[in-house]
Amino acid sequence: MTFCSLIGILDDGWAGLSDAARERLGTADVVIGAGRTLDLVRANVSKAELKDMDGALTKVPEWAQAALAENRTVAILATGDPLCHGIAAWLGDKLDAPLEILPNVSTLQLACARFRQPWQDITIASCHSKDAGEWFAGATPTHGLYPAMRAIAQHAQVFLFTGPENNPARLARALLTAGYASDEVSLSVACRLQLPDEQLFPVLSLDAAASMNFPEPNVVLVQRKESAGVPTFGLDDLEYIQRTPEKGLITKQEARALSLAKLRIKRNATVWDIGAGSGSVGLEAARLAPHGHVWAIEKNEGDAANARANAARFRATNYSLFDGKAPQHLDTWPAPDAVFIGGSGGELAELIRLILARLKPGGRLVMNFVTLENLATATAALNEFCAEWDVVQLQASRSQPILDMHRMAAQNPVWIVTTSKATF
């Protein structure tokens, strides 16, 4: 009977395999693996045809299917547990034949054992991807470190599978760039596990790790000190850096809270913030969408600088701010689930048309206006494009001390216009 087995292996090679894994490899007609893993078993599978999948991963299903069609048994080698950030799920979807999985101990388990660290509460992530260069403020989801940075932002303990380029030192530099203090996050790095020259580097500060050269391969445990932090949304206006002496382009807390509620942001949403000002709406949207990303644009250099400073203060690694006047850049952004317009720069009707065309089905557009003219332009455009809409006039008053008492000081009224795109 022919079979296809996916076998987990570590750097101790044949000695670390189970009896079942050895039996499958010993009787396999074809053994597929990376060059490094093939070398670990080469002496024990001398009768098998060996296929090196370095640089040829996409051919693995084809090789396996061809061998099985000839009634030849196949064994595929993977590192550790193939179901833990390995190739098992990808490969299983591409094979017509059943896939038997024989896992080994994962490098996560090994590293945590070396560091005497319980791992049931650890979040697992990976930056074992193509080289995307150093991390920078405003990096988008295409960056190789993006999954790792988002995982660390959300969880106090993260175990990471690294790569030759996206290594622990680059990760440490990325965290420093994102605004983490050197002693706020520690990296424990396990190198060359199960090999004679295995090395462990426990509890390194970011500054120490950022300039080190770690032996490869390696994995890293990231531990971040938890703090009270800031709420998901509803920050006070004064918690944002904004234009002075005029306290200017910031959506006030009351309007911000209602606008965010109207946007109905999901945790994985793609959000556009047009006319970002000080960044208050977009940055709180980023917190409401921890698995999503916010794309923001601001034409005023001073306000854009403030928005970037606010993003750094709040360590918003899922927030990208672009300099310019919409609709500039929008054609390069992914289709949004939610769009907020806080300022349009005089292109309001055309902007609404563009957004309604790009908005995902079920997506929502929320606009804030303080002038009758812009309100009229927006509602006329929505009518022209046959979009249903509603408007809320919000006028809040805040208490202010007067002598030994308090009075209510009215804020300017804001019109909050909401429309959504049909789901069909």
Q: Please provide the average confidence, as pLDDT, over all residues in the chain.
A: 93
Does 92 score more than 70 pLDDT?
yes
Q: How far apart are CA 298 and CA 343, in angstroms?
A: 9
SS3 347: coil
Average pLDDT over residues 151-157: 95
Output the CA angle 152-156-161, nearest 5 degrees.
50
Helix, strand, coil share of the chain (percent; to 5): 30, 25, 45
**Strands 389-394, 364-369: pairing kind:** unpaired
Assigned token pair, 330: 């929008």
Residue 32 near residue 51 (C-beta atoms within 8 A): yes
Please tell me the predicted confidence (pLDDT) of residue 309: 95
Q: Please report the pLDDT score of residue 115 as a whole number.
A: 97
Residue 301 has pLDDT above 70, yes or no: yes
Whether 416 shows a pLDDT value over 80: the answer reads: yes
Band of the pLDDT at 363, cuts 50, 70, 90?
very high
CB 294 within 8 A of CB 319: yes
What's the CA gap between 391 and 414, in Å, rounded?
Answer: 10
Residues 384-414: pLDDT tens digits? 999 999 999 999 999 999 999 999 999 889 9
Per-residue pLDDT band for 5 (boundaries 50, 70, 90) equals very high
What distances in angstroms separate CA 406 from CA 252, 394, 398, 402, one per listed residue? 21, 22, 10, 5
Tell me the C-alpha distance between 314 and 156, whole Å.
Answer: 16
Position with higher pLDDT, 203 vs 424: 203
pLDDT in tens, 305-342: 999 999 999 999 999 999 999 999 999 999 999 999 99
Averaged pLDDT, 93-122: 93
pLDDT surpasses 70 at 249 = no
Q: How far is CA 362 from CA 48, 178, 336, 337, in A?
A: 55, 33, 10, 8
> What's the mean pLDDT in 185-208?
97
Residue with structure tokens 């890293």? 220
Give the separation between CA 53 and CA 86, rounded to whole angstroms: 14
d(CA 149, CA 159): 12
Classify residue 330 by its DSSP letter.
G
For the question of whether the overall pTM of this predicted structure is more than 0.85, the answer is yes
Measuring CA to CA, which residue among 99, 100, 105, 102 is closest to residue 80? 105
Whether the upstream peptide bond of residue 245 has omega within 30° of 0, thus cis, is: yes
pLDDT of 192 reads: 95
CB atoms within 10 A of CB 403: 6
Q: CB atoms < 10 A from the CB of 93, how many? A: 9
Pairing of strands 30-33, 414-420: unpaired
Confidence tier at 373 by pLDDT (50, 70, 90) = very high
CB 214 within 8 A of CB 188: no
Segment 278-301 shows an average pLDDT of 96
- C-alpha 423: how far from chain center: 26
Distance of CA 361 to the CA centre of its chain: 23
Geometric angle at alpha carbon 212, from 208 and 213, rounded to 5°:
165
Cα(85)–Cα(383) distance, integer angstroms = 49
Q: Residue 247: which pLDDT band, with cuts at 50, 70 and 90?
A: low
φ, ψ (nearest 5 deg) of residue 113: -65, -40
Tell me: pLDDT of 3 over 90: no
Confidence of residue 176 (pLDDT cuts 50, 70, 90): very high
The yes-or-no verdict on residue 275 having pLDDT over 70 is yes
Mean predicted confidence (pLDDT) in 93-121: 93
C-alpha to C-alpha distance for 346 and 264, rounded to whole angstroms: 26
